[in-house]
């Protein structure tokens, strides 16, 4: 059975008819709304490449049925800041030249945005704890930690 | 310097005899400088020996570099732009680099073997130097002077001592073409080399090379503005997914289309044992691939039990032998030695497991094919798709877009072939994105290996003979280039002949023990067709496993001869730059002579320090690591690293340090965690739970890097070489901490815990 959903994505409201209500939010964001991120990494909620904020909380869009997000406010990587007005997390990652291929970036950045909001002075252990479980295959971990510390150590 | 080479067409034009017949081919421009013969309005055909295949100058003076390799996430385009900017004397910000598009770049081999700068950058540098010389000749002609009287600053040519006489590159040739021929060694791929008559600059004149210029793509990615290959959408595009056998080696017996009758508009593609589904909606394709019922045959077990793997390998009859790097008669010397020691080291199959499973969009038209690929070798993807479809390479246009880091022959090449089959079958462009299991369980694997190493020691504690033998699966059971359908899953599932190469290697470090014999046997693949355990290149192919055995054994030899591991290496290594790297790492780490632990280790957390050295072609890397071993959980934490890295001329120091960091982390993951699991019927490592990789909690605390810059040398391979000594250094440090030698990788918690109880 089809389902009508309303989503606010990066400040824009969308009304969508879902032919298949089991469709994960990821496919709706990418294929129906044409967003280039988040990314499909595993489809199993194991890596974080598909992470978006749903009502302010980082969630894995690859396993979240779009129907369950009806009425939600979604923020993607592209919605947290712009080149002209970067989010401090984006600026910190640029300053550290963090990431290699960047395919996994959504998980780390969206988690970092939530982390620095919740714990602006997070310690090294808290940073590692917050990120634990996210995957980066290229080994960007050191630059990711440095980028977050730019913010937490300045706070 | 006026001996510039003209293309045949230009020469004919200049001679005037055939001007009419060639007029439409682009030498009729009234602006063409008659005296130099440089410049044309039509872009010459894409060939390595055409300067225009490498460099273009726009009307606004900005420069495009065409690079036939690609960036796999390390930012090589920045270094290439630095090289071009320096050679041409233009601003770095005025240079953009086009990578891996088969319509505009020549086949430089794609990303391969850390040759981006060492090989790929050389041709770019030569071409840029030639472009500068050509531009100076045009300017000299314009001002009625000679090139040696001219200076260039930020793309503006000025007659020396006469600032009134100046002209920009844009004004000289902007929007038109050089039409200048280069010398080409007639090779393609990594070996391709072009050079003009112009001599590249001396390193002392570099202004931008050697500087830490940041990457622009990082910011673009952070703002969601960078386009990955997964983001490509083609009008009318359908979504594909593959259906793989549940048992390795199984054949299709029957497909049950009724099992997906509830899903709208799904097409099943079935050729031989290749099965895929195509649907307008991506989620429909995902569901269809999961739901489609296929009866597969029940072949005999393809694989041994995992616990028996190394035994089975050593019992197998080799299909290839090689290496031998031999000096003297180590057997005889060993027989006469005061003592001998030997050890056996084991390395597992490992998976590329890229962050994103491969994605390719293919649009097969009757006489033309377009491929959007994130593979690291787009030119070979073009060739492979052409061969698969019985077309000419010229009929296939491969467009490279950023993909997830690939680290060798991952699943990218296979996905292009599969997508081509799907697109041809349904007559529409198809975007095939693999699922996690395709990227972890079904991609080509880094080969498993067994290494037996022995040495003879004389009465004075000198090592006098060395023997190193590997028994391994081939590094090219599947070719490293995706240019041959017989080397792809699609080809093998569809019944194409199986062709395999038996290739392995010997250690690259040059210790001199007098007599030595280094060699290898390659054993046959466990399953010869469409095997999820087929082997090919994985980051620094064979490097980490060969080095794991040789550098751990160096440690064993050091202690067997009552020497400190650093002093031992310095004594026997016949390689000045290698010794310099070892000494630099030792200095950074404040290395103190070490002796082996005695007695049973005490305490919950055991601390140790280890060293390993690696040489990969002309690059040397020495690493020292401080580890902590939790005796109760078996957790090994490489906490502090000290790296000394010599890759010749350093083009971009900060970027290089990041690349080294990434390789240390990736290689740590391989050393501590990564082992492809399988049972007799199938690979069982299918996702991040069954194929775990390094978690950020286990990332090191510090990585101290010393770059040993050699401006008088060329840039050598960087990146992969620093992967090579990581597992060895960790195992050596764990020995230092615990007194226990771990000779089997990875050093998982379970293995370490079991050995320490």
Radius of gyration of chain B (CA): 28
Mean pLDDT of B558-576: 98
* Residue of B750, B727, B739 lying closest to B606 (CA atoms): B739
Contact present, B344 and B743 (Cβ < 8 Å): yes
Among the residue ranges B20-34, B396-410, B581-595, B690-704, the one predicted with the least confidence is: B20-34
> Looking at residue B35, what is its pLDDT?
65
B499-510 tens-digit pLDDT: 999 999 999 999
> Percentage of chain B with pLDDT > 70?
95
Best of A110, A138, A144 to disrupt the B interface by mutation (most B CBs within 10 Å)? A138
Best of B361, B696, B697, B718 to disrupt the A interface by mutation (most A CBs within 10 Å)? B696
* Per-chain mean pLDDT for chain A: 96
Interior CA angle at B123 toward B121 and B126, to 5°? Answer: 105
Per-residue pLDDT band at B162 (split at 50, 70, 90)? confident
CATH class of B8-208: alpha beta
* Position B25 pLDDT exceeds 60: no
CATH topology of domain B543-756: Aldehyde Oxidoreductase; domain 4 (3.30.365)
- Residues B704 and B721: their CA atoms lie apart, in Å, by 16
Distances B459 to B334, B341, B451, B454, B712 between C-alpha atoms, Å: 12, 14, 27, 17, 43
User: Other CB atoms closer than 10 Å to residue B336's CB: what's the count?
Assistant: 11
> Looking at residue B29, what is its pLDDT?
39
Contact present, B509 and B614 (Cβ < 8 Å): yes
B208-232 tens-digit pLDDT: 999 999 999 999 999 999 899 999 9
CB-nearest to B688 from A20, A47, A83 is A47
- Residues B535 and B475: their CA atoms lie apart, in Å, by 6
Mean pLDDT of A18-47: 95
Mean pLDDT of B186-207: 96
> Looking at residue B630, what is its pLDDT?
97
A44 interaction partners in chain B (CB closer than 8 Å) = 436, 687-688
- Residues A48 and B748: their CA atoms lie apart, in Å, by 24
> Percentage of chain B with pLDDT > 90?
91
Residues in CB range of A77: below 8 A, 6 or more apart: A37, A38, A52, A105, A106, A109, A110, B222, B223, B224
Per-residue pLDDT band at A1 (split at 50, 70, 90)? low
> Looking at residue B468, what is its pLDDT?
98
Q: In this predicted model, which residue has the larger pLDDT, B550 or A21?
A: B550
Distances B543 to A68, B668, B727 between C-alpha atoms, Å: 48, 14, 10
Mean pLDDT of B431-444: 98
B216 interaction partners in chain A (CB closer than 8 Å) = none
CB-nearest to B436 from A44, A82, A136 is A44
> Looking at residue B597, what is its pLDDT?
80
Mean pLDDT of B658-685: 98
* Position B14 pLDDT exceeds 80: no
Contact present, B119 and B648 (Cβ < 8 Å): no
Chain A nearest-CA distance from B701, in A, is 8
> Looking at residue B461, what is its pLDDT?
97
ipTM: 0.98
- Residue B653, phi-psi category: left (phi > 0), alpha (psi -120 to 50), beta (remainder): alpha
B70-103 tens-digit pLDDT: 999 999 999 999 999 999 999 999 999 999 999 9
CATH topology of domain A88-152: DNA polymerase; domain 1 (1.10.150)
> Mapping DSSP to helix (H, G, I), strand (E, B) and coil, where does residue B117 land?
helix
Chain centroid to CA B383: how far? 19
> Looking at residue B17, what is its pLDDT?
31
DSSP lists the bridge partners of residue A14 as: A7
Structure-token pair, residue B184: 């080409």
* Position B9 pLDDT exceeds 90: no
> Percentage of chain A with pLDDT > 70?
99
Q: Which residue has the tokens 């910190």?
A: A92
Mean pLDDT of B397-418: 97
Residue intervals of chain B classified under CATH 3.30.365.10 are: 8-208, 230-299+353-440, 543-756
Residue B31: phi and psi, rounded to 5, are -80, -15
CA torsion through residues B166, B171, B174, B179, sign:
negative
Mean pLDDT of B244-250: 98
Mean pLDDT of B569-576: 98
Mean pLDDT of A7-11: 97
Per-residue pLDDT band at B28 (split at 50, 70, 90)? very low
Interface of B with A in 330-369 (CB under 8 A): 353-357
> Looking at residue B207, what is its pLDDT?
96
Contact present, B509 and B573 (Cβ < 8 Å): yes
B264 interaction partners in chain A (CB closer than 8 Å) = 19
Torsion, Cα B99 B102 B107 B110, to 10 degrees, reads 50
DSSP B611-668: EEEEEETTEEEEEEEEEEEETTT--EEEEEEEEEEE-BS-S-HHHHHHHHHHHHHHHH
CB-nearest to A42 from B286, B405, B687 is B687
> Looking at residue B114, what is its pLDDT?
84
A98 interaction partners in chain B (CB closer than 8 Å) = 218
- For chain A, count helices (H), then strands (E): 5, 5
Residue A82 to residue B224, Cβ atoms within 8 A: no
Per-residue pLDDT band at B36 (split at 50, 70, 90)? confident
Architecture of domain B230-299+353-440: 2-Layer Sandwich (3.30)
Mean pLDDT of A141-147: 98
- Residues B352 and B111: their CA atoms lie apart, in Å, by 15
* Per-chain mean pLDDT for chain B: 94
- Residues B263 and B297: their CA atoms lie apart, in Å, by 26
Distances B58 to B33, B94, B172, B178, B241 between C-alpha atoms, Å: 18, 10, 10, 12, 42
Per-residue pLDDT band at B601 (split at 50, 70, 90)? confident
What are the extents of the domains in chain A? 3-79, 88-152
Give the single-character DSSP code of B400.
E
User: Can you give B542-593 as a three-state secondary structure string?
Assistant: CHHHHHHHHHHHHHHHHHHCCCCHHHHHHHHECCHHHHHHHHHHHHHHCCCC
A135 interaction partners in chain B (CB closer than 8 Å) = 355, 688, 693
- Residue B434, phi-psi category: left (phi > 0), alpha (psi -120 to 50), beta (remainder): beta
> Looking at residue B602, what is its pLDDT?
82
> Looking at residue B238, what is its pLDDT?
98
> Looking at residue B37, what is its pLDDT?
85
β-bridge pairing B95-99 and B63-67: parallel
CB-nearest to B228 from A103, A124, A145 is A103
CATH class of A3-79: alpha beta
Residue A42 to residue B436, Cβ atoms within 8 A: yes
* Position B406 pLDDT exceeds 80: yes
């Amino acid at each position: 059975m089809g389902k009508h959903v309303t989503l606010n994505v990066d400040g824009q409201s969308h009304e969508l008819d879902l032919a298949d209500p089991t469709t994960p939010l990821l496919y709706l964001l990418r294929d129906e709304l044409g967003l280039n991120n988040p990314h499909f990494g595993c489809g199993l909620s194991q890596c974080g490449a598909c992470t978006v904020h749903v009502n302010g909380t980082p969630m894995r869009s690859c396993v979240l049925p779009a129907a369950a997000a009806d009425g939600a406010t979604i923020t993607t990587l592209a919605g947290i800041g712009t080149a002209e007005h970067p989010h401090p997390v984006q600026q910190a990652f640029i300053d550290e030249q963090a990431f290699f291929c960047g395919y996994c970036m959504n998980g780390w950045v969206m988690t970092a945005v939530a982390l620095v909001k919740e714990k602006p002075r997070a310690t090294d252990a808290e940073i590692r704890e917050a990120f634990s479980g996210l995957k980066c295959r290229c080994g960007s971990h050191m630059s990711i930690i440095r980028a977050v510390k730019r913010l937490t150590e300045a706070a | 310097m006026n001996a510039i080479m003209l293309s045949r067409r230009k020469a004919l034009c200049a001679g005037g005899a055939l001007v009419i017949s060639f007029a439409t081919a682009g030498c009729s421009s009234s602006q063409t400088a008659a005296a130099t013969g440089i410049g044309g309005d039509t872009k010459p055909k894409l060939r390595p020996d055409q300067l225009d295949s490498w460099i273009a100058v726009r009307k606004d003076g900005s420069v495009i570099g065409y690079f036939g390799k690609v960036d796999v996430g390390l930012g090589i385009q920045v270094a290439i732009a630095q090289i071009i900017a320096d050679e041409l004397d233009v601003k770095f910000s005025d240079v953009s680099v086009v990578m891996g598009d088969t319509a505009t770049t020549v086949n430089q081999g794609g990303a391969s073997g850390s040759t981006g700068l060492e090989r790929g950058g050389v041709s770019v540098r030569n071409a840029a130097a030639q472009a500068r010389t050509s531009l100076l000749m045009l300017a000299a002609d314009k001002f009625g002077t000679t090139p040696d009287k001219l200076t260039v600053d930020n793309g503006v040519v000025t007659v020396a001592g006469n600032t009134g006489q100046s002209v920009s590159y844009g004004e000289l040739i902007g929007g038109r073409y050089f039409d200048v021929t280069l010398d080409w060694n007639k090779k393609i791929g990594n070996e391709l080399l072009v050079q003009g008559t112009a001599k590249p600059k001396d390193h002392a004149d570099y202004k931008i090379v050697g500087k830490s210029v940041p990457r622009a793509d990082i910011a673009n990615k952070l703002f969601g503005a960078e386009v990955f290959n997964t983001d490509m959408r083609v009008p009318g595009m359908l979504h594909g997914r593959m259906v793989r056998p549940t048992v390795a080696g199984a054949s299709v017996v029957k497909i049950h289309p009724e099992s997906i009758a509830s899903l709208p508009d799904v097409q099943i593609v079935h050729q031989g044992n290749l099965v895929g589904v195509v649907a307008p909606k991506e989620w429909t394709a995902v569901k269809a691939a999961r739901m489609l019922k296929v009866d597969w045959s029940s072949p005999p077990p393809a694989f041994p039990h995992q616990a028996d793997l190394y035994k089975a390998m050593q019992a197998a009859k080799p299909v290839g032998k090689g290496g031998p790097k031999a000096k003297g008669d180590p057997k005889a010397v060993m027989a006469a030695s005061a003592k001998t020691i030997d050890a056996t080291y084991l390395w597992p199959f490992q998976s590329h497991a890229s962050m994103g499973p491969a994605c390719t969009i293919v649009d097969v038209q009757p006489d033309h094919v377009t491929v959007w690929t994130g593979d690291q070798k787009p030119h070979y993807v073009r060739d492979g798709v052409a061969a698969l479809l019985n077309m000419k390479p010229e009929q296939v246009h491969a467009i490279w877009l950023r993909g997830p880091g690939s680290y060798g022959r991952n699943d990218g090449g296979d996905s292009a072939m599969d997508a081509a089959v799907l697109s041809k079958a349904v007559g529409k462009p198809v975007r095939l994105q693999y699922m996690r299991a395709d990227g972890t369980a079904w991609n080509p694997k880094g080969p498993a290996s067994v290494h037996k190493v022995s040495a003879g020691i004389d009465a004075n504690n000198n090592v006098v003979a060395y023997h190193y033998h590997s028994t391994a699966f081939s590094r090219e059971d599947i070719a490293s280039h995706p240019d041959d359908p017989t080397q792809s899953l699609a080809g093998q599932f569809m019944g194409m002949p199986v062709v395999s190469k038996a290739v392995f290697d010997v250690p690259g470090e040059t210790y001199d023990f007098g007599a030595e014999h280094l060699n290898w046997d390659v054993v046959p693949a466990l399953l010869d067709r469409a095997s999820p355990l087929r082997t090919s290149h994985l980051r620094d192919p064979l490097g980490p496993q060969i080095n794991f055995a040789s550098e751990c054994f160096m440690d064993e030899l050091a202690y067997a001869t009552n020497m400190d591991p650093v002093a031992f290496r310095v004594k026997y290594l016949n390689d000045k730059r290698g010794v310099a790297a070892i000494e630099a790492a030792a200095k950074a780490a404040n290395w103190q002579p070490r002796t082996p632990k005695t007695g049973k280790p005490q305490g919950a957390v055991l601390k140790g320090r280890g060293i390993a050295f690696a040489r990969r072609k002309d690059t040397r890397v020495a690493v020292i690591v401080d580890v902590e071993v939790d005796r109760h959980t078996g957790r090994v934490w490489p906490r502090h690293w000290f790296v000394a890295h010599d890759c010749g001329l350093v083009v971009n120091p900060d970027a290089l340090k990041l690349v080294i960091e990434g390789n240390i982390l990736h290689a740590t993951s391989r050393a501590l965690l990564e082992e492809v699991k399988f049972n007799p019927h199938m690979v069982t490592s299918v996702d991040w739970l069954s194929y775990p990789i390094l978690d950020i909690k286990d990332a090191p605390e510090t990585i101290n890097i010393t770059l040993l810059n050699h401006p008088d040398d060329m840039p050598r391979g960087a990146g992969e070489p620093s992967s090579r000594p990581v597992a060895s250094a960790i195992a050596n440090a764990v020995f230092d901490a615990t007194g226990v030698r771990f000779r089997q990788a990875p050093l998982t918690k379970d293995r370490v815990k079991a050995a320490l109880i």
